[in-house]
Amino acid sequence: MNIPAIQMSTTPAKLGISSTPGRLSIQQPPATVDLEQPKADMRIQTTPGKLTIDQRQAWDDMDRKHIFTRIKDAAANGRQKALEGTGRRAAEGRELADIHKGGNAIVMQAARRVDRTHKIGIAYIPSYGSVKINYQPGDVQIDAQARQVENNTRTNKPIISYQPGDVSFQMKQYPSIQFQAVNKTI
C-alpha cells in the first residue's frame, strides 16, 4: 500500500565568529624635575695671627748691635769714662801733692795704669732667653646660613591608549528545511 509521507531534510545554520583583541597601551613619562639649591649665605672674618721676634738682646750679646744702640752705649761709656778719669786725676793729684809725706806715688800710679787682665772666652754666643718670642693667635669667625631647596618638580600623568576589541559574527551557512512528499510502500 502506498502511503504518502513527508520527508524532511534540514541544513543546520553555521556561524562564523572573528574577534580582534583589545589593545591597552600605558606610557608613564618621567617627572619634570626642577630642583634648585641656592648658595648658602656665608661670611668669614679672619683676624691674622701676629708673631713678633725680638732679637735685639741676642745681637747685643754677640756685639752686633744696631747703630742706635752702639751710639747710646758709646755715649754712656764715654760719660762714665770721663767721670772715672776726672776722679782718678783728682786722686792722683792728691797723691802727688802728698809726695812729701813719703811713699813712691809715681811708681804706684804707673803700676795701676798697666792693665794685665785679658778677657778670655767666646763672646759671640748670645745669652739664654735673649730672643723674645711673642705670638698672638689669629681668629676665624664663620657665619653660614643654609637656604632651603626649591623643589618645583611636577609629575606627568600617564598616557593611556585603549582600543577596544571587536567580535563579529557572520552567517557561513543559513539554515534550511526542505519538505518532500514521498510515497512510501508498506
Distance between the two ends of the chain, CA-based, in angstroms?
6
CB 105 within 8 A of CB 8: no
* Lowest mean pLDDT, pick from 35-39, 41-45, 121-125, 166-170: 121-125
What is the pLDDT, as a whole number, of residue 62? 80
Q: How would residue 121 be classed by pLDDT, with cut points 50, 70 and 90?
A: low
14-48 pLDDT, tens per residue?
989 999 999 999 999 999 999 999 998 999 999 99
Residue 63's pLDDT band, with cuts at 50, 70 and 90, is confident
